Amino acid sequence: MNFDTVIHSGIVLTVNPEFDIIYNGIICIKDGIIVRVEQHNPCEKLPEAAEMIDAGGGIVMPGLINTHTHLPMSLFRGLADDLPLQTWLNDHIFPAEASHINEESVHWGTLLSCAEMLLSGTTTCCDGYFLEDKVAKAVQTTGMRAVLGQGIVDFPAPGVPDPAENVDHARSFVDQWHGFSDRITPSVFCHSPYTCSEDTLKRAKAAASEKGILFQIHTAETRGEREQFETEHGISPVGWLDRLGILDANTLLAHAVWVDQKDMALIVKRGAKVSHNPESNMKLASGVAPVPEMLRTGITVGLGTDGCASNNNLDLFQEMDTTAKLHKVIRSDPTVMDATTVIRMATIEGAKAIGLEKKIGSIEIGKKADIIILDMQQPHLKPMYHPESHVVYAASGADVRDVIVGGDAVVKERKLCLMDIDEILENVNVLSHFIKKG
């Protein structure tokens, strides 16, 4: 068989169930699918392919999966830092969105985020925002894979001036994109239990359930949110969502910082998933999610960056490093959140969190060829004894050399293949001038 692409001479982190690491590995790709993964015998000739990619001794691993983003918000990077969440949201972000989020800004903000993610090794993201149809159209031009959720809140929002139409608008978005593209999966995104009424939450979840798609929601992000629900409803935010019938296997809870054992038992019982966003949680002083306890309980937890307005980057390598170290110091235990666990969270567990684990998240025969190659010929990456440790504690997004999505090269030698980065930066600079003026 002649293959479309053969990747060779690399250290392959498969992230398969056994977490096999294959030295001098080869990966053969045909029609966008991985068809061979094995160690190459140097005495044997390499398989023939239309394109041969020499990994140069670098690490070859599954593309990273960012389970929580707000793509257009890259335009607000650094706009309002060092503030509490509610002050940040109500006094800065919501007003900026009302004034500056439109079809043009959403287009360029989305492209900026996609460029940043692809160049740093993220091949799939899970997004929730407004004017999501424009987000989807922009993402589609980049070659990236994405789960995209139309945002829902109970007040006027970009693209939905009448809150009474918020769920209908989301339903229309889902209808338009459901089954339209192999790389774009529509979703429904309710902002939070405190910005969406009981009726809105139920109708939004029903709209998602009709299509069997992911329902996303910020949940239990702050202590104040938890206290509010305990005061008003006598129950936690997670308990409230369960009471409304929101929690199931197609529900993704973003943040989930202020959860207790009872909440975690509910989450695992219903099969809901969690997106852990440690850097955003730290920056907004929201707290530290009990992720080691979640994992022991059996909850699927993926990694997310949140939007650039509260992180302020989309580098999942940095997020992995933070995740591993944060939980060690909080528990005074250097053994928790080991490198292998964290890599799984950024790959296969992230895929499970957004319902794509049968397609992506590991380098295995039959899966989509979403693959990244890290250049290890760097001073900060020498010597290397344990590749998995290097990925979490030494590498950064800047070390990503090549990125393949569905068998297609989208980054080669650190350069974007399908995007004009100069055009993107020029337009973003113009938009930022008006945002700065207010």
79 close to 97: Cβ distance less than 8 angstroms: no
The pLDDT of residue 85 is: 80
Contacts of residue 53, defined as CB under 8 A and 6 or more positions apart, other chains included, come to 5, 6, 7, 8, 373, 402
* φ, ψ dihedrals at 67, nearest 5°: -90, 0
| Res. 68 pLDDT band, cuts 50 70 90 | very high
The answer on pLDDT for 426 being more than 80 is: yes
Predicted pLDDT at 122? 99
In eight-state DSSP terms, residue 298 is T
Rounded-to-integer distance, Cα 431 and Cα 112, Å: 12
49: tokens are 């392919």
pLDDT of residue 243: 98
39/32 Cα distance (integer angstroms): 20
Report cis status (omega within 30 of 0) of the bond before 311. no
Spatial separation of the C-alpha atoms in residues 347 and 349, rounded to whole Å: 6
Collapsing DSSP states into helix, strand and coil, what is residue 176?
helix
Residues 6+ apart with CB under 8 A from 152: 166, 167, 169, 170, 188, 189, 190, 191, 196, 200, 204
Side-chain-facing half-sphere of 118: CA atoms under 13 Å: 30
- pTM of this structure: 0.98
The answer to whether 192 and 217 are in contact (CB under 8 A) is yes
223-266 pLDDT tens trace: 999 999 999 999 999 999 999 999 999 999 999 999 999 999 99
Look up tokens 């004017």; give the residue.
131
> What is d(CA 415, CA 404) in angstroms, rounded to the nearest whole number?
12
pLDDT band at 436 (very low <50, low <70, confident <90, very high): confident
Q: Average of pLDDT values for 300-317?
A: 97
- pLDDT, one tens digit per residue, over 142-191 is 999 999 999 999 999 999 999 999 999 999 999 999 999 999 999 999 99
- The pLDDT value recorded for residue 237 is 98
Residue 437 is predicted with a pLDDT of: 79
| 302: nearest Cα among 405, 210, 214 | 214
When pLDDT is cut at 50, 70 and 90, the band that residue 3 belongs to is very high
- To which residue do tokens 């809901």 refer? 272
- Taking the C-alpha atoms of residue 285 and residue 87, their distance in angstroms, rounded to an integer, is 12
Written as six digits, the tokens of 328 are: 């060690």
- DSSP code, position 253: E
Q: Which helix (H) or strand (E) holds 294?
A: helix 291-297
Tokens 């239309």 — which residue? 50
Q: What percent of the chain is predicted at pLDDT more than 70?
A: 100
Separation of alpha carbons 175 and 153, rounded Å: 19
What does the DSSP assignment read for 83-127? Answer: --HHHHIIIIIHHHHHHH-SHHHHHHHHHHHHHHHHHTTEEEEEE
Tokens of 284: 């907004």
The amino acid at 400? V
Task: Determine the Cα–Cα distance for residues 48 and 429; give it in Å rounded to an integer.
Answer: 45
